[in-house]
Amino acid sequence: MAELDSNRKQDDLTWLENLQRNSWEPEIIITGLILAFLFIFPAKIYEFSAYLVQDLGAGFLLSTLVLFYLSVVISVFKIFFIVQLSLRFIWAGLLGLSYAFPKGVNQEKLFKVAQGYSYQHPDEMVLRMEKICSMTLAYPVSISILILIFTFYLGSLIAIKVLFNLPFMAIYAFFLISIMAYAILMATMKKNKFKNWYSNTMLSSVGATYQSNIGKWFTVWYGLIVILLSIPIILNDVKGFDLFFNEKNLSETDINWPISEYYFEDVHPEEKRYPRAYAQSQIMEGSTYKLGLPFYVDDNKSLASLREKFQDELDSISWGKIEAMPDLYQIYIDDEPYYPKNWLPLKSSISGQKSFETILYLDSLESGIHELRVEKVMVFPDFLTNKLKFRHLENWSNFKFLKP
């Protein structure tokens, strides 16, 4: 029996050694597949965060936190795997060099100024690069376990916030306290049951292996450099998301230099959501003009509160009677109010976005450039107390269009 166990252990070691020698094959396949996935995923994250704001009412701050967090994770892993694939490219070149010139440098055929020096053998360079490639792939694996745990925790907090309609500050405070408690527990020098359990986990073991073999500060600085390199990618991935902040007016920059794909159907990607009012095109065709308003679930919550608690505020700005969600909006064309006859509720089969659409009849409008502005009234919970507040947004949406 002892001999059988010994043979089995020897077979396992032989299998592991063979697997380590040929690890480059699965490394390249895994890296390529993950990179392809990572370059597609940011658009899905953006739309998911917009879905949290519009359809679930998770709140802009929490949805932005989700967007930034997931964008950081995706962008950092992009850099990690791009570095890994680039190193494998160098490794492949060195492997070809070692095959073409197995003896390495021929000192006699060098220029005299280059003779007499010690050069690395191609086989040594291949083995060294192989070790570096394997090391760089294992690094993101070591932090991916931590990210998965943290993502599950963050997702649980979001679910609790949405289900119980808790104020963002309560969730944020609990999140900070839990993170601080974890940090204090891990920073203490005394051993405890949690630290003993944690040290035996794969996450802790992989991290300790890295720190003890290549240096604890090297691993820290390597991670920080990757994060710095990913910042431009992160900023590009979250660009324009501030327009989903339903409780604020457009900025002067958004009004003076609007991004056309956010407002006009003919240049808008079908899989994306509209943050503000949108039209069929920047150039009218005929005398009618289609206009749409995106659905925000928080607007539905505003209806009863506006009628019951904020009627005086509505009367002070001469706002009409509020019965349905489109009544929260007032349309102006060149600062003249326009009252649509009816609104049609729709849901996109591609993006899944809900909206209200209407037709504007503009026969009497002169040819030229015109401004369409949308005002909005709403209530929103206070950041700290969750108490409802009234807000009148005079530039909730604003864009210009041309009538030929």
Same domain, 205 and 304: no
CA distances (Å), origin 20, targets 15, 17, 305? 9, 5, 65
pLDDT tens-place string over residues 214-245: 777 777 788 888 889 899 989 999 999 999 99
Last residue of a domain, one of 204, 222, 240: 240
Last residue of a domain, one of 240, 269, 286: 240
The mean pLDDT value of the chain amounts to 86
Same domain, 176 and 40: yes
Same domain, 223 and 286: no
pLDDT tens-place string over residues 349-366: 999 999 999 999 999 999
The rounded percent of the chain whose pLDDT value lies above 90 is 40
pLDDT on residue 256: 94
Q: How do beta strands 344-347 and 336-338 pair?
A: unpaired
Dihedral over alpha carbons 215, 221, 227, 231 (to 10 degrees): -160
Query: Is 30 among the domain residues?
Result: yes
Beta carbons within 10 angstroms of residue 75's beta carbon: 23
With left for phi above 0 and alpha for psi between -120 and 50, is residue 104 left, alpha or beta? left
For the cut 70, the answer to whether the pLDDT of residue 194 exceeds it is: no
> 18 falls in which pLDDT band (50, 70, 90)?
low
Query: Is 222 among the domain residues?
Result: yes
Query: Is 5 among the domain residues?
Result: no
The answer to whether the CB of 136 falls within 8 A of the CB of 84 is: yes
pLDDT on residue 5: 54
Which domain, by its residues, includes 104?
A: 14-240
> 176 falls in which pLDDT band (50, 70, 90)?
confident
Query: Is 8 among the domain residues?
Result: no
Hey, what amino acid is at 254? Answer: D
Same domain, 117 and 221: yes
**Predicted TM-score of the model (pTM):** 0.83
Same domain, 210 and 304: no
The answer to whether the CB of 114 falls within 8 A of the CB of 146 is: no
Give dist(CA 284, CA 321) in Å, integer.
Answer: 30
Same domain, 215 and 75: yes
Query: Is 3 among the domain residues?
Result: no
Q: Which pair of tokens denotes residue 305? A: 């509160």
Give dist(CA 261, CA 138) in Å, integer.
Answer: 41
For the cut 60, the answer to whether the pLDDT of residue 13 exceeds it is: no
Give dist(CA 89, CA 87) in Å, integer.
Answer: 5
* Number of domains observed in the structure of the chain: 2
Q: Which pair of tokens denotes residue 155? A: 């997702």
Last residue of a domain, one of 240, 257, 273: 240
Same domain, 336 and 318: yes
